[in-house]
Amino acid sequence: MRTTLLALATVTSLAAALPTREDALKLAFPGATFTRKEHFLTESQGAKVKQLSQRELPGLWWIAYEAVKEGKPAGVAFFDTHRVRTLNETAMVAIAPDGRVIRVEVIQFHEPQEYLAKDAWKQQFTGHKLDGELSLKQGIRPLSGATLTANALTDASRRGLALWQVLYGEKK
């Protein structure tokens, strides 16, 4: 019983430290309004996202949050749920209208807290576009003691940028 209460307290304190979906959107796009848009990728769009990201695509249904500030597009955010080691995390990848990462924010993390990426480490994604630099040991430093977390967030960022490119970037 004591172990269960301790585990519950740890999960509760960790959950309290992570932003909600709404908070994450506000952190990425302060002062913006949001429209939730569902995208059902065609098979060819899914193949294109997989090719561009060089990562597996867990499905063809994606939800985007389109941000508008002062009447102009401020960017798009995708929430990517994926397995880290044995449990899931959900990360927001916010992308500017020019196709660069604005922010990566974890909103759910079910692995032990010591594997959670710190804000300072996540900030290195800011400004990256979808290219060879957006990979570990290239433009992204490894995360000591949490390699699987680093891989998962890098993969989520690559998927988000590829989704943006297929769904928003090609309209220009």
**pLDDT for 5:** 40
Q: How far apart are CA 64 and CA 119, in angstroms?
A: 23
What CA–CA distance (Å, rounded) separates 111 from 88? 7
| Residue 134 CB coordination number (10 Å) | 19
* Cα-based angle 116, 147, 106 (whole degrees, multiple of 5): 30
Question: Cβ contacts of residue 35 below 8 Å, gap of 6+?
Answer: 65, 66, 68
For residue 13, pLDDT over 60 is answered with no
Q: What is the mean pLDDT of residues 39-57?
A: 96
Does residue 172 surpass a pLDDT of 70? no
Confidence of residue 137 (pLDDT cuts 50, 70, 90): confident
Output the pTM of the full model: 0.88
What was the pLDDT predicted at 128?
97
Q: Which amino acid is at 61?
A: W
Residue 3 has pLDDT above 50, yes or no: no
pLDDT of residue 86: 94
DSSP string spanning 131-162?
STTSSBTTTB---TT-HHHHHHHHHHHHHHHH
